[in-house]
Amino acid sequence: MSEGHGIDRRDFMRGAAAAAFVGGAYAAVGDKGEEMVWQLDPNKCTQCGRCSTHCVLNPSAVKCMNQFNICGYCDLCFGYLQPGSRGRDTGAENELCPTAAIKRTYIEDPYYEYVIEEEKCIGCAKCVKACLVFGNASFYLQIRQDICINCNECSIAKACPSDSFKRVPKLQPYIYLTGDVSTTKSQPSSDPNPPQTTLGPRSENS
Amino acid sequence: MKTVRSLLVVGLFLLPAMLSVAAEMRFPPPDFQTDYKIPDLNSPAPVSSNGTRDAIILFIALSVTTWMVFKARSRRGLFIISIFSLAYFGFYRTGCICPVGSTQNVMAAVFLPDVGVSVAVLSFFVMPLLFSLFFGRVFCASVCPLGAIQELVAIAPIRISPALDRTLGLGRYVYLGLAVLGVATGSGFFICRWDPFVGIYRMGHSFGMLLAGGAILTLGIFVARPYCRFLCPYGIMLGWMSRFSKWHLDIPPSPCVKCRLCENSCPYNAINMPIPSHLVGDPEAGKRRIRRLVYVSPLIIAVGATLGYLSYEPLSRMHPKVALSERIAAENIGKLTTDTLETRTFRAGKQTVDELNAQAVQIREYFKTGGAWFGGFLALIICLKLIGLSTAPKRDIYTPNKETCFSCGRCYPYCPVEPLPKRS
Ligand code: SF4
Ligand code: SF4
Ligand code: SF4
Ligand code: SF4
Ligand code: SF4
């Protein structure tokens, strides 16, 4: 470090290198602008159950949600009750959900509302599968973005057999099923074959 | 404009599908008589505070470490910061996101067309490198959660020969090359996938990871910081920066008296020893050796690139699609008799085997190009290392090797030299 010469050449080079490095790094990635977060595509999910076991969080950041506008509000909800429970009471031992995370509320005859209590849901997809096979497929899994810590590489993405996980823009972090044109938010998709967001393609997988 | 139009097109395309939903639903949505309102979907936004908060904590940790290395010169202080980093970045934040892994996010943003990276992640990548450019590898000293856990277990370190150390150290370049290859070909983030310590941070996340972590830590009791020295890809970049750093830790606080007391203090072979004058080679001979190496290196690089190109097949198996396609083929000809969740799911899906194989062929093509780069890169590194070895510089005092020194401060207590009295 030379004395009395102000900035010497090495320092200058170092400063220039630092500036070029930071500037270059931001320029190389900055113009992509949008931040991305992980989400799973319910059109691809095959309810394998790994969502509940492979998240780095315990319980998983993946939860079931009920998209009410395509829910049938059925009295006999297959996502809610064990198969063959008809006529029995709706006690916890008859519920399909291993953690009794689905809350059933009477609305009016013959309709019931089913709300997923997210603190209890472990994302096991049992109810999702049942609702898909027997019902309207209004239950499906999503990463709850307020819980997910947005890992570098989502641990479930590595393990998902259906290749359901992808990065989506942070501003549109959920992938909804378009059950109803007026109220369902659909994701603009860069996918050349936009998913047919009805029951069709999903039931083939089940 | 273009996006608006394509959105419209997509919308029109989806419209019939949407309108037919009511008909396709097994149970039509009810027509409520009471004033029950269909609830809105609860869709909480992503937590964004974590990234920023962590970036600030990273900056503070780096600053405090720098102070400990240069001003306090306290091995103990560095040890305490290590414990903090391990607890916070390791166990509390489950080792994610860390600067080592953020390398891949940055590479993904560079290579892949539609992947962006947040400013917080970018600062995770940039900050330790900048600190390194000015102060040496203070990040490795006690901020890196991977380094901290190894530093804490290194209780009975033995020294291995510098030649072996250097040879094994080439592993870091292999790892870096594979990580870039993984990102560029869309195979995944290998640094995260093979991170041996996340299993421990996440308390038993997967058995394989736990086992790898345990093995490396056990080895790390005797061979200090094996991951850092032989595997860490980020350490390469930190080392490059540190080589040109403005300031760097010195073993003695004032001029070295060559007492040799620190000679065996560094478990990382990171102390440059004085070179006895009879071993300092003839500079002319060194120059000749270098010239010869520079002439043959294009050949070596070409050979490396060719070998890389030729190994595209095994390399491409790191991509899950290729692995799946090969597994399906093996099951179909009866070579494998059990199926896996992956192959079962594939068979239940809509994609045909031909489509999958076509994808796999495409991915293998990427690996041909990528493999050539990978091989060429490794060969280049070997050439550079050989050139670096061809001259023995004149050295007569004990100094830390700026590139490989982790600034851990283990050598401080060995040095008997007192700091010069402060001028008042
Ligand atoms: S891992 Fe994939 S297929 Fe399995 S439940 Fe999760 S999203 Fe569905
Ligand atoms: S069955 Fe599984 S996915 Fe459905 S609510 Fe219960 S825990 Fe969640
Ligand atoms: S990104 Fe991480 S926290 Fe989020 S769902 Fe995946 S594994 Fe879980
Ligand atoms: S060498 Fe790598 S793993 Fe080790 S402390 Fe440095 S950055 Fe962390
Ligand atoms: S500070 Fe550097 S030279 Fe000293 S013991 Fe640590 S790694 Fe070795």
B70, B249 in Cβ contact below 8 A?
A: yes
What is the distance between the alpha carbons of residues B99 and B65, in angstroms, rounded to a whole number?
16
A167, A8 in Cβ contact below 8 A?
A: no
Q: Among the atoms of ligand 1, which is closest to the Cα of residue A40?
A: 7
Is the Cβ of B345 closer than 8 Å to some Cβ of chain A? yes
> Which conformational region is residue B38 in: left (phi greater than 0), alpha (psi within -120 to 50 degrees), or beta?
beta
Nearest residue on chain B to A159, judged by CA atoms?
B342
pLDDT: which is higher, B137 or B275:
B137
Question: What DSSP designation does A95 have?
Answer: B
DSSP B28-61: PPP--SS---PPPP--PPPP-HHHHHHHHHHHHH
Assess whether pLDDT exceeds 90 at residue B239: yes
What average pLDDT does the segment A119-147 reach?
91
What average pLDDT does the segment B255-260 reach?
91
A161, B61 in Cβ contact below 8 A?
A: no
Count Cβ atoms within 10 A of the Cβ of residue B176 and give its class: 0-12 exposed, 13-18 middle, 19 or more buried.
Answer: buried
Write down the mean pLDDT value for chain B: 87
Pocket of ligand 5 (CB under 6 A): B 249, 265-266, 268, 270-271, 400, 405-411
| Residues written for chain A | 206
Assess whether pLDDT exceeds 90 at residue A26: no
What average pLDDT does the segment B218-222 reach?
94
What is the distance between the alpha carbons of residues B254 and B279, in angstroms, rounded to a whole number?
27
What average pLDDT does the segment B288-293 reach?
91
pTM above 0.80, yes or no: yes
What average pLDDT does the segment B26-31 reach?
77
Residue A96: per-residue pLDDT: 86
Q: Are strands A102-108 and A111-116 parallel, antiparallel or unpaired?
A: antiparallel
B179, B187 in Cβ contact below 8 A?
A: no
Please report the ipTM that was assigned to this predicted complex.
Answer: 0.76
Nearest residue on chain B to A57, judged by CA atoms?
B202
**Long-range pairs, B187-190, Cβ under 8 A, ≥24:** B187/B318, B187/B319, B187/B320, B188/A153, B188/A158, B188/B318, B188/B319, B188/B320, B189/A152, B189/A153, B189/B101, B189/B104, B189/B108, B190/B104, B190/B318
pLDDT: which is higher, B78 or A193:
B78
Nearest residue on chain B to A113, judged by CA atoms?
B38
| CB pair distance less than 8 Å for B116 and A196 | no
Assess whether pLDDT exceeds 70 at residue B163: yes
Crossing angle of helices B75-85 and B49-67, in 10° steps, is 170
Q: How far is CA A166 from the centre of its chain?
A: 10
| CB pair distance less than 8 Å for A48 and B26 | no
Assess whether pLDDT exceeds 60 at residue B21: no
| CB pair distance less than 8 Å for A73 and B30 | yes
Ordered alpha helix ranges (H), B112-189? 119-135, 138-142, 145-153, 162-169, 171-184
Give the dihedral of Cα atoms A162, A166, A170, A172; nearest 10 deg.
-50
The SS3 assignment for B249 reads coil
A76 lines ligand 1 (CB under 6 A): no
What is the distance between the alpha carbons of residues B376 and B309, in angstroms, rounded to a whole number?
9
| CB pair distance less than 8 Å for A21 and B129 | yes
Residue B282: per-residue pLDDT: 78
| CB pair distance less than 8 Å for A170 and B244 | no
For the segment A144-155, what is each residue's pLDDT rounded down to a tens digit? 999 998 888 888
Nearest CA owner, ligand 2 atom 8: A121
Residue A90: per-residue pLDDT: 59
Radius of gyration of chain A (CA): 24
Quick one: pLDDT band at residue B14, thresholds 50, 70, 90? very low
DSSP B90-111: IIITTT-S-HHHHHHHHHHHHH
Residue A81: per-residue pLDDT: 80
Quick one: pLDDT band at residue B3, thresholds 50, 70, 90? very low
| CB pair distance less than 8 Å for B122 and A25 | yes
- Name the residue among B112, B196, B181, B107 with its Cα closest to residue B150: B196
- Name the residue among B189, B89, B183 with its Cα closest to residue B139: B89
What is the distance between the alpha carbons of residues B65 and B148, in angstroms, rounded to a whole number?
12
Chain A residues 152-181 within an 8 A CB cutoff of chain B? 152-153, 155, 158, 161-162, 167, 170, 173-174, 176, 178-181
What is the distance between the alpha carbons of residues A14 and A25, in angstroms, rounded to a whole number?
16
Ranking B72-86, B172-186, B378-392 by mean pLDDT, the lowest is B378-392
Choose the closest CB to A11 out of B41, B126, B246.
B246
What average pLDDT does the segment A124-131 reach?
92
- Name the residue among B155, B137, B152 with its Cα closest to residue B83: B152
For the segment A31-54, what is each residue's pLDDT rounded down to a tens digit? 555 678 899 999 899 999 999 998
Q: How far is B363 from chain A (nearest CA, A)?
A: 16
- Name the residue among A69, A112, A185, A108 with its Cα closest to residue B29: A69
Q: Which ligand is nearest to the CA of A155?
A: 3
| CB pair distance less than 8 Å for B36 and A107 | yes
Spacing, Cα B155 to ligand 4 middle (Å): 18
Is the Cβ of B34 closer than 8 Å to some Cβ of chain A? yes
Q: Which ligand is nearest to the CA of A163?
A: 1
Ligand 5: which of B250, B410, B415 to mutate, judged by most atoms within 8 Å of the beta carbon? B410
Chain B residues 274-293 within an 8 A CB cutoff of chain A? none
Q: How far is A91 from chain B (nearest CA, A)?
A: 24
Ranking A29-43, A165-179, B225-239, B281-295 by mean pLDDT, the lowest is A29-43
Residue B144: per-residue pLDDT: 96
Residue A28: per-residue pLDDT: 67
Spacing, Cα B408 to ligand 5 middle (Å): 5
Q: How many CB atoms are closer than 10 A to CB A200?
A: 12
Residue B113: per-residue pLDDT: 75
Radius of gyration of chain B (CA): 27
Residue B130: per-residue pLDDT: 94
